[in-house]
Structure 1
Amino acid sequence: MLGTELIDHEIDNPARNDAVLVEVTRGDRVESVHRGHAVICDADGEVTWSLGDPQAIIYPRSSCKMIQALPLIESGAAKAAGLGPRELALACASHQGAAIHSGPISEWLTRQGFADEDYRCGAETPRDKPTREALIRAHGAPRQIHNNCSGKHAGFLTLNRHLRGGPDYELPDHPVQQAVRAAFEEVTGEPSPFYGIDGCSAPNFATSMTGLARAMARFAAARPDGDARERAMVRLREAMVAHPELVAGEGRACTELMRAMDGVAIKTGAEGVFVAILPAQRLGVAVKITDGTTRASECAVAALLVRLGVLDPAHPATVRRMRPMLRNWRGTEVGAIRPAPALLG
């Protein structure tokens, strides 16, 4: 049994065959590195470029929220609820809990007859500093609507009502999560080998790096006049592009980098995951940093977007992620974060 556990651990370990994606310098020397995997897939689901192991199995975490939102549209629940681009962007969001996020979501819940108590994501202190400080001054308590996944869960609640499921929509065997799993496996093109419970209590289905990039490529290649799934994909990616401030928030990489590009949707996930949807190129991108560091995933995805010609390397939002300077407490420049040469091509 122990031997089997060790073999399984090696198979599932994302550190196997990873590559250096990001370097951290001090002076003119590389002080440390961030390793991981990066994959680009085309509209046919084929890998066109990779670094590290394209078959590494990972949890996509919040990078796959647009996949989790597919049943919301495909079931007819979004249409029945009158959801527009703003709500769909929030369904894909990992937001800051600012008023621009919690306000529209609260209105969405109220229209559907839901309350904060119907959520299963858990209360979270708002990540938006002004909102957090205002809550403290008012002696208020964080609510579930402040959870960075509350938009996704509003989508789950809306889908659940349409499916007439029980209240525990976050459970893996619930019809909502079964619909999510079916969509996830179909667009990744492979069965999910296992799942873990995410920070918001919903199951997060594992897939390979290639599967995640393939799913993003399918979003990229989807046509407005395609089948029901393609139309749903177009609605979600266009909602994200139209409302980048809702997908993340001011100062966040997703928001700032989407604003710096034309029609490209990107989404971060916890533990160093990042994906990108490039409709004009019909390409999907997936990045995973083995040590889970956000600074490295942002650097790597920015470098790949520059490599693919959709992001200006000189744009301030790009520089802040792709080549940020490191300064000490006196403000002296002492080093930098930069993509590894292999990432740049």
Structure 2
Amino acid sequence: MKRRVNVIGVGMTKFAKPGASAEYYEMAKEAGQNALKDAGINYNEIEQVFAGYVYGDSTCGQRAAYELGLTGVPIVNVNNNCSTGSSALYLARQAVEGGLAECVLALGFEKMEKGALGAKFNDREPPMGQHAQVMLDVQGFNSAPPAAQMFGGAGREYRWLHGTKKETFGQIAVKARKHASQNPYALFGQVLSLEEIMASDDVFDPLTRFQCCPPTCGAGAAILCSDEFAKKHGISNPVYIAAQSMTTDYASSFEEKSMIKMVGYDMTKQAAKQVYEAAGVGVEDVDIIELHDCFTANELLTYEALGLCPEGEAEKFIWDADNTYGGKYVTNPSGGLLSKGHPLGATGLAQCTELVWQLRGTAGNRQVENARIALQHNLGLGGACVITMYRRD
């Protein structure tokens, strides 16, 4: 029998620009201590640690977790590109659900360099070679950052299919900035108008600079436990994981020569389907969503992949304001990757933290009223998509 998995402690740091953050292990210590304090437990009660990061040497997870205690527990280092934080969460959930541990820590952190993401090894086949080949076949390469070319190309393909206005993508960034202005943990809290978004430097059609997430440093943490552990520690009515799924690329990612499919549309669609079926809950029952808005184009595509609106109707969904407070779904109340920031290893756990706060009713000025069911979407090219549904009874 699978056991219920509860999220009893969460924590994160305020996100910072590269060059302005603490050391990675100091950020991890802050996030981890916040999660332990939130759960009301000591580190010596943690039985396993899954530590996620992308840019760092081997065993950075140990160096980070050692700041919390030297207890000899298993520490597993996790790297799944931009979905690393949620991949650590996925492994932690499996350990508790399968009865291998009673209390587990998922820890994610990143100390990033300035500028666009780039390859670190140039003497071997890059892991995203198949993805790059699709882009080469469909649109070629230019001097823009590769990730912007990929997601921008997917946005451009969508525009050609549906006649979508460029300003529709910009409106997503307007919403992100407005939400982030209420989040003290966000990197960018300045509200911007659509005119300011569209007037920022062009990156790759239809993306402008303010429609691309910034390189960011930060950390996040979540503590998961069994019902028995929660009861033993007097924790009542915790937020719990109702369902979770991880998918990787399908044949359609490469064979269909579609930029939309290459950047993970089918991974998201299938993971969402699996989660809805496992939880016995439809998308219409979801109150709040933290989704992977690395670029505005991906947020638009994800609306449809998650089933928030029918395919081809994302433009109407956006202009009807069904993606924000007062609409059908509140998406990225934290400000998302676009405005909160995107420290790769920490992003998935920061999303988890935000949703747990929301379901507890402790999210302050950005609180979604009567939130009971939350959905998290974390995507990494290369590729992996992790979708998690949280509930509080």
Q: Tell me, yes or no, whether TM beats 0.5.
A: no
Higher RCO (Cα < 8 Å, 6 or more apart): 2
TM norm structure 2: 0.23
TM norm structure 1: 0.25
